[in-house]
Structure 1
């Protein structure tokens, strides 16, 4: 076999391997994105977030859980919101999960644990 043919075959094999590895990496990324979307949907279905407009921590909390905020029940306690009064919300942000209140900023890991997602 000529040296040029051997180089061509080796190059083709390396190219096929690279394409396979890139495709595998993209599949894993898609799987991670779907997994994140699944547990965020789970969290959002089991939790409510009480916030207020002036609350810097509330903005930080929203940035942590940014994806699909439209699916999360967010209650604004800036005005004398009856829900906030009834729940005796004293600090925002406060999470309500399984009828329990959890004041302060929570990480995704903490929310997964609290909701069982």
Structure 2
């Protein structure tokens, strides 16, 4: 248990340092970051931070997710990103199946790093809604406002 907590803490620290390095050097694309870790260390961190969505979805979460799919909203993230995991949990398992998720890390499942680069994604999570990029974790109410969603808003989380 202590090892798992230590690894999660390490992963969060590395994410913070990566984000800080990107903020100081915005002209450097994600794939050319100067932060260097061995692949085996990254794989170990990823294995201990990757998790399935645990929260359940309500009708409001599913309706918003379907609306975001309808307007072709995109969610860019990385499988090891704790903030991306938090965003997914806000939707819940059933609702998130409707979200157009784009994996930016080449080691992730169904990776599409080129799409992330083409969209100028510099940090995770990033939403692309109606042609604009929004970085960070957003409440479902905020996503509803940004996207113009007018349906149910009794979100569970």
TM-score under structure 2 normalisation?
0.50
> Which consecutive segments of 4 or more residues in structure 1 shift more than 4 A?
33-36
3-state SS in 2 of match to 1:64: helix
Q: Does 1:42 align with 2:67?
A: yes
Distance 1:98 1:54, change over 3 A: same
Distance 1:50 1:35, change over 3 A: closer
Pick the structure with more strand per residue: 1
Distance 1:55 1:37, change over 3 A: closer
Task: Report the count of equivalent residues.
Answer: 85
Equivalent position to 2:100, from 73, 77, 87? 73
When the two chains are superposed, the root-mean-square deviation of aligned CA atoms in Å is 1.7
How far off is 1:88 after superposition? 1.1
Pick the structure with more helix per residue: 1
Higher RCO (CA-CA < 8 Å; seq separation 6+): 1
Structural mapping, 1:55-74, within 5 Å: 55-66=81-92, 67-74=94-101
Higher radius of gyration, 1 or 2: 1
